[in-house]
Amino acid sequence: MKKAVITGATSGIGLEICRLFINKGYFVYGIGRNFDKIPFEENFEPLLIDLKDREKLCREIKKIRNDVDVLVNCAGVGYFGLHEEISAEKIHEMTAVNIEAPMIITSLMLRELKRKGGRIINISSVTAKSSSPHGAAYGATKAALTAFSESLFDEARKYGVKVSVIHPDMTDTAFYNNADFECEEGIEFSLSPIEVARAVETVLDAPYPIRDITLSPQKHRIHRK
Ligand SMILES: NC(=O)c1ccc[n+]([C@@H]2O[C@H](COP(=O)([O-])OP(=O)(O)OC[C@H]3O[C@@H](n4cnc5c(N)ncnc54)[C@H](OP(=O)(O)O)[C@@H]3O)[C@@H](O)[C@H]2O)c1
């Protein structure tokens, strides 16, 4: 049975990615902090890890990294507002969860993924590719994740590892609950987490490496809460 490690497994996009992998016959190690809403009864092992806790993260990944075929870095956190309103603690949290943890997990798993010809799929954001007023620090962490993914694509390709980065636009999850803006309601204004999981399925099923995918809803409209 193939195995996957998926961060952000407890909510939104990551939860749908877990569902996709389990439906495709994978055993999933899901990483998160709050597993209350997890619906999976089999082929899913929850790993209770705060991604800011580097020591625990390394310890737990070392226990399970053998025999894993796919790594999906989906966990993320965003704080929005004028940059002077973003505290040092929030900047640290975004940096640790959005870019440091994916780089650490990848580093710990890469030898095994090379041995298996595995895949790494990183969930970045369209904010990685544009200016993000009111989201400068969040956008910077996502731009870093995209830059990391693109370099790793070229570094790991000759060893048989397929690295992909997905750039979703506004997606209907809890992610922007603490933001000072919200997306217009209606399916044309945001993606569903299932649609992002389908993009993951596309890169997972491709016999060749797909460098990146960008997904946008049909229309863009956000307003202040
Ligand atoms: N929603 C959007 O519009 C959108 C657009 C572009 C990109 N994205 C990206 O998509 C990814 C998933 O976001 P989402 O929309 O699905 O948001 P979400 O529903 O808020 O899910 C975020 C996930 O990240 C995990 N996480 C956050 N901080 C963590 C920590 N310290 N330790 C461990 N896990 C942590 C959460 O798990 P716990 O709470 O259980 O710890 C949760 O599973 C993120 O990387 C985000 O940047 C989202």
Taking only the tens place, the pLDDT of each residue in 200-220 is 999 999 999 999 999 999 988
Pocket, ligand 1, Cβ cutoff 6 A: 8-14, 32-34, 50-52, 74-78, 97, 123, 125, 168, 170-171, 173-175
**Alpha carbon distances (Å) from 60 to 43, 146, 212:** 18, 25, 29
Q: What does the pLDDT read at residue 186?
A: 79
Residue 13 alpha carbon to ligand 1 centre in Å = 7
Distance CA 138, CA 77 (A): 8
Residue 113 alpha carbon to ligand 1 centre in Å = 24
Q: For 3-224, CATH number?
A: 3.40.50.720
pTM, two decimal places: 0.97
- Of all atoms in ligand 1, which is nearest to the CA of residue 96? 31
| DSSP class of 22 | H
Residue nearest to atom 19 of ligand 1 (CA): 12
**pLDDT-derived band at 177, boundaries 50, 70, 90:** confident
**Joined tokens for residue 222:** 């956000």
Distance CA 212, CA 206 (A): 12
Residue nearest to atom 23 of ligand 1 (CA): 8
Every domain of the chain and the residues it spans: 3-224
Residue 110 alpha carbon to ligand 1 centre in Å = 23
- pLDDT one-digit tens code per residue, 5-59: 999 999 999 999 999 999 999 999 999 999 998 999 999 999 999 999 999 999 9
Cβ distance 7 to 75 under 8 Å? yes
Distance CA 96, CA 98 (A): 6
